[in-house]
Structure 1
Amino acid sequence: MTYATVMVSLALDQPNNARLQAAGELGERFEATIVGVAAARFAPPLYFIGGAEAQRLIDQEEASVKRCLAALEAEFRAATRTRSRPVEWRSAMDFPSRFVLAQARCADIVVSGGQSPAFSDAFSLVSPKDLVMQAGRPILVVPDKVNWLDLRSVLVAWKDTPEARRAIAGALPLLRKARDVAIVEIPEAGGDRSAAMTRVSDVAAWLARHGVTATARVPEAAGSEPAALQLERVAGDAGAGLIVAGAYGHSRFRELILGGVTEYLVTQTARCVLLSH
């Protein structure tokens, strides 16, 4: 398995440098085509305007959206100009989530920016959470402060769920290029550490059969400390530049309300994260 097509989702009014850098590196590492994609549409005002004034406002705003999309295309082409890979640009006057999710059919992996906890505008920004839930492709979330795709140390956050199995399968091309890979399961309070070690050892053995050498780890349980904080500590100790994880093993509603590992991974700013649902 390899990545033949890398798609990068660009956003209006947000930094795109980090995700463009990561997508360019992926394109060169895997000799893949790089596809840039963006969409936006005019957000109608909350107040009513009628007649010619309404049409004038619509025309002005749609022209502004077209200029913004053209600027994003120019940014994409400038960032990929020195990459020795074919590139392609796709954009539309559409809701970003709807358009980007449709275009993901042509990609092996989709690169997205991270997301702050603040409210996002559905008219100009596709949420990485929506991509993870609906794209059917692994999503590489690249925080704005990350300036390269660091594969020296990769941490696989294991949980014995279908989401984690899909994530590690989708990450295989990256894991083959990593220097150090660790499979880590964060034990639940009162959980059986020996059973957890059996699970992560199985995963490490599976990776070995795919040409990836990985170590298996189950840290000591940390009482009532949230799993996300335990994972952050383990990732920091390992110097991980990338975390691979299944997304929303619990219901998305529960994580949105109560918090959870996926919510943390999408909003943290220290390292890249590959997620799959």
Structure 2
Amino acid sequence: MTYATVMVSLALDQPNDARLQVAGELAERFEAAIVGIAAAQFASPLYFTDGVEAQRLIDQEETSVRRRLADLEAEFRAATKTRGGRAEWRSALDFPGRFVLAQSRCADILVSGGESPAFSDAFSLVSPKDLVMQAGRPLLVVPDRINWLDLRSVLVAWKDTPEARRAVADALPMLRKARDVVVVEIPEEGDDRSAAMVQVSDVAAWLARHGITATARVPEAGSEAAAVQLERIAGDVGAGLIVAGAYGHSRFRELILGGVTQHLVTQTARCVLLSH
């Protein structure tokens, strides 16, 4: 398994340097094509008018959106012009979530920025939680402060669930390039630690059969939240990448992520590969 096509989702009025850098590195490492993608939709004003004036405002706003999308294409072209392989650009006047999710059919892996806890605009950017829960592709979340894809140490956050199994399988190409891989399960109070150790040891053995040397680790159950414990272990092992299953459900058509998943799409310290 490898990545033949990397898709990077760009956003209007947001920093894109980090995700472009990491997506470009990923494409180079795996000799993959890279597809840049962005969409934005005209947001109707909060006041109303009609006739010629209304059409003038609509035309003006659509022209502005097209110009900003053209600026994103120029940014993508500049970031990829010195890299080998094929680069392709896709954009549309559309809701970003709808457009990017549809176009993700052509990619092996998606690259996105993290989610800001303070800003979300469905007219100009697609949320990483929408991508990971609906795209059917692994998502690499790149915080804005990251400037390279550090695969020297990778932490696999294990739970014995289909999502975690899928995430580890999706991450195999990256794990093969890692120097150190640690598989960790965070037990909850009352969990059988020895049973958890059997599970992560099984995962480490499975990785070994794929040519990947991994260490199994299960800390003592504590009172701290799982996200806090996971973050501390990631710091201890110097992880540049966390691999995890994404958990959540849809309630009244609004995606609600689990606590650890929500933390992983908003933290700013390291890249995260998520699969659902």
In the alignment, structure 1 segments of 5+ residues that lack a partner are none
CA contact (8 A) 2:129 2:255 kept: no
Aligned pairs, how many?
274
The root-mean-square deviation of aligned C-alpha atoms, in Å, is: 1.4
Matched residue, 2:181:
181
CA contact (8 A) 1:146 1:271 kept: yes
Q: Which residues of 2 match residues 18-33 of structure 1 at below 5 A?
A: 18-33=18-33
The CA distance in 2 between the partners of 1:251 and 1:27, in whole Å, is 31
Shift of 1:228: 0.4
Q: 1:53-100, CA deviations, whole angstroms, 9 ceiling, x for partnerless residues? A: 110000000000000000000000000011011100000000000100
Shift of 1:220: 1.1
CA contact (8 A) 1:4 1:32 kept: yes
The CA distance in 1 between the partners of 2:245 and 2:47, in whole Å, is 42
Matched residue, 1:157:
157
In the alignment, structure 2 segments of 5+ residues that lack a partner are none
- Name the SS for the 1:34 alignment partner: strand
Kindly tell me: are residues 252 and 147 of structure 1, through their superposed partners in 2, closer, same or farther at Cα, counting changes over 3 Å? farther
Q: 1:23-77, CA deviations, whole angstroms, 9 ceiling, x for partnerless residues? A: 0000110000000000001100122111111100000000000000000000000
- Name the SS for the 1:145 alignment partner: coil
For 2:226, give the aligned amino acid. Answer: A
For 2:225, give the aligned amino acid. Answer: P
For 1:232, give the aligned amino acid. Answer: E
- Name the SS for the 1:132 alignment partner: helix
Q: 1:167-197, CA deviations, whole angstroms, 9 ceiling, x for partnerless residues? A: 1111000000001000000011111000000
Matched residue, 1:16:
16
Matched residue, 1:97:
97
Matched residue, 1:39:
39
The CA distance in 2 between the partners of 1:142 and 1:258, in whole Å, is 18
Matched residue, 1:238:
237
Kindly tell me: are residues 258 and 17 of structure 1, through their superposed partners in 2, closer, same or farther at Cα, counting changes over 3 Å? closer
CA contact (8 A) 2:130 2:255 kept: no
For 1:207, give the aligned amino acid. Answer: L
Per the normalisation by structure 1, the TM-score is: 0.96
Matched residue, 1:247:
246
Matched residue, 1:193:
193
The CA distance in 2 between the partners of 1:49 and 1:80, in whole Å, is 43
The CA distance in 2 between the partners of 1:194 and 1:23, in whole Å, is 39
